[in-house]
Amino acid sequence: MFYSFGKKFLSICQSGKKKYWPFSPTGFQILPLALGIFLFPAFTDAAFVKTKRTVMIQVFQWNWNSIAEECEREFGPMGISAVQVPPPQEHIVSSGSPWWERYQPVSYQIHSRSGTREQFRSMVDRCKKVGVDVYADVVLNHMSALSAGVGFAGTSFQHYEYNSLWRPDSFHRCGRNGNNGLVNFYDRFELHHCDLLGMADLNTGKRDVQKRLAQYLDDLLDLGVSGFRIDAAKHISPEDLQGIFRWVKRDHYRVLELILSPGEPVTSEEYGPLGDLNNFAYAYGVGLAFENLELHKLVSLPGNTGINSDEAVVFLENHDLERRPDAEPILSFRKKSPWFPLAMTYLLTWPYGYPQLYSGTFFSDYDAGSPLDQNGFLQNAVSEEGRCEQPFTCMHRLLWIKDLVKFRNGTDSVFSATRVISGGDFLSYGRGKLGHVILHAGSKDRIFEVPTDLSPGKYCNSVRFEGRSSTECGEVDAQGLLRVVVGARSAFVIYAPGQLAASSRK
Ligand code: ARE
Ligand code: CA
């Protein structure tokens, strides 16, 4: 199931991520085609049609039963590769039950607001049966910030002591800032040794701590999990992370949460060998490109983030980003960003990284958790009839999202952008003979005439965007020129696998 890749392991669903850039910087051939338009060289590497699963999804605040049902009802059939689930371990109980309780572990019992160990195991089984892997969000850097308490599964603890699990000497206690708290993010020692948000920082340099954390990961692997999202990876040194992973008995996929901010003393190079990296710069870059009507920047954006395609997990938002201040250029579904559909089209059709969708909840209060049942477990996100319940967004159920996932999976064999042309308010590119995309950010309908690698004929929009007519169609002439009217702030997407299948039979 897994391919070995250096020190880490990449799951099969990622094999579409090529180790090369779609464009070599030196190979750029920028020719003015018309005012404000740039033409990029074409790469036609059409081989054969092969559909794999290349898109994962993060679900936030869902219980295990609902995730299992959604795997069977939606994620499996729509071709999702994996679902990243909330931290499954026992956590603190905080007044008002905020969502972030889950990020303050109390023990590694698999018992949380999302459900019991048995429910977790059953979810993993059910998802895998329909082709969907499960990645668990794991918090290895710290325990809780509370001075004392009783966890969700009944475990009593103190800030630096967790029953038989951790003793006071299991923690770093960095000795800075009067309370061991992390203040200076520009100081490497503090970043790795002090208490992030006051949460007791584990001494991940100690062999027994590393072994116990690896044991937790092993337990999840035994339950059938295929990979992990490593929470707060930036707060564990690369050496310590390596020290933890070396004890883990089975191969698995990993993605590290590493928010790299300018001037801070950790780099993607040192963490890259340990797993894929969440590419936060990409999320901000996409937002800026749309908000500033600089769509041509989307061509070089991936390369400019400094993270290679085969190491990057890309997304428009996650549970932290959707909570960032409105002034930041994060394109959020919940906030109804007008650029969301176009940006999502770019995310899922441009050949870069391992895309991650995000399905969360509607909320207005930063802390708000989701509704709980009388036992404190999260209520179902979907009803027995399959209806999406409030406050869950079920963003992934949108028809146009499903169409785009199909495009991504189906074009994986041509993992390069072909016939790229861009201006400030549009971007046109193909995936060889498998398809073509025009992103149009302008405010009026516009006639496009763009080069493609498609056979002559009539093509209609393969993506069922909301508010657009299903009869939106264009014509490709004998020279491969596509002529089509694309609506304001809309996209025209051609997915034409049949064409390749037909031509390859010749
Ligand atoms: C909660 C309360 C706090 C309180 C704390 C302790 O909100 O007020 O002090 O509890 O009682 C999540 C929530 C937090 C929550 C925490 C614990 O987001 O609000 O705190 O759970 O319950 C840095 C880290 C990065 C981290 C972010 C939040 O580098 O790893 O801070 N992200 C992950 C998760 C979070 C989670 C945690 C880690 C903790 O994704 O959801 O916190 O497990 C710059 C820096 C970044 C910095 C970022 C902060 O960009 O470069 O390093 O991220 O600012 O926005
Ligand atoms: Ca640490």
pLDDT digits (tens, 9 = 90+) for 440-465: 999 999 999 999 999 999 999 999 99
Q: pLDDT-based confidence at 500, cuts 50/70/90?
A: low
Strand partners, 422: 38, 427
Question: Strand pairing of 473-476 and 481-486?
Answer: antiparallel
CA–CA gap between residue 459 and residue 322 (Å, rounded): 36
Average pLDDT, the chain: 90
Helix (H, G, I), strand (E, B) or coil at 428: strand
Question: What would the pLDDT profile of 277-318 be if each residue is shown by its tens digit?
Answer: 999 999 999 999 999 999 999 999 999 999 999 999 999 999
pLDDT class of 97 with cuts at 50, 70, 90:
very high
Q: Is the pLDDT of residue 50 over 50?
A: no
Instruction: Report the alpha-carbon angle 50-79-458, nearest 5.
Output: 60
The pLDDT of residue 69 is above 70: yes
Taking 90 as the threshold, does the pLDDT of residue 59 lie above it?
A: yes
Query: Is 403 in the active site?
Result: no
What tokens does 95 get? Answer: 């007044």
Given the CA of residue 280, which atom of ligand 1 is nearest to it? Answer: 50
Q: What proportion of the chain, given as a percentage, has pLDDT over 70?
A: 88
d(C-alpha 79, C-alpha 412), whole Å? 13
pLDDT of the residue at 470 = 65
Ligand 1 contacts (CB < 6 A) are 100, 103-104, 139, 145, 185, 197-199, 231-232, 234, 257, 259, 261, 264, 319-320
- Give pLDDT, residue 145: 98
Residue nearest to atom 36 of ligand 1 (CA): 103
Spacing, Cα 197 to ligand 1 middle (Å) = 7
In the beta sheet, which residues pair with residue 142? 201
**Candidate from 89, 103, 366 with most ligand 1 atoms within 8 A of CB, to mutate:** 103
Mean pLDDT for the stretch of residues 465-487: 91
Cα–Cα distances in Å, from 229 out to 45, 58, 273, 274, 276? 33, 10, 15, 12, 9
Least confident of 16-20, 52-56, 195-199, 432-436: 16-20
The predicted-structure confidence for 360-389, as pLDDT tens digits, reads as follows 999 999 999 999 999 999 999 999 899 999
With tokens 């070995």, the residue in question is: 4
pLDDT at residue 17 above 70? no
219 tagged catalytic: no
Active-site residue, from 231, 240, 311, 317: 231
Q: What is the pLDDT of residue 14?
A: 37
* % the chain with pLDDT above 90: 86
Q: How many CB atoms lie within 10 A of CB 137?
A: 21
* CA proximity to 54, closest of 125, 132, 127, 137: 132
How does residue 12 score in pLDDT terms, banded at 50, 70 and 90?
A: very low
What is the per-residue DSSP string for 231-245? TTGGGS-HHHHHHHH
Least confidently predicted of 43-47, 407-411, 492-496:
43-47
Contact between 126 and 75 (Cβ < 8 Å): no
Mean pLDDT of the 86-108 span: 98
Statement: residue 242 has pLDDT above 90: yes
Burial of residue 289 (CB within 10 Å: 0-12, 13-18, 19+) is: buried
The string of pLDDT tens digits covering residues 125-150 is 999 999 999 999 999 999 999 999 99
- Give 484's strand partners: 448
Q: What is the mean pLDDT of residues 159-178?
A: 97
Is residue 412 a contact partner of residue 389, using CB atoms and an 8 Å limit?
no
pLDDT score recorded for residue 468: 76
Enclosing H/E stretch for 270: helix 268-271
Give the whole-angstrom CA distance, residue 75 versus residue 359: 12
b/e per residue 318-334 (b: at least 16 CB within 10 A):
bbebbbeeeeebbbbbb
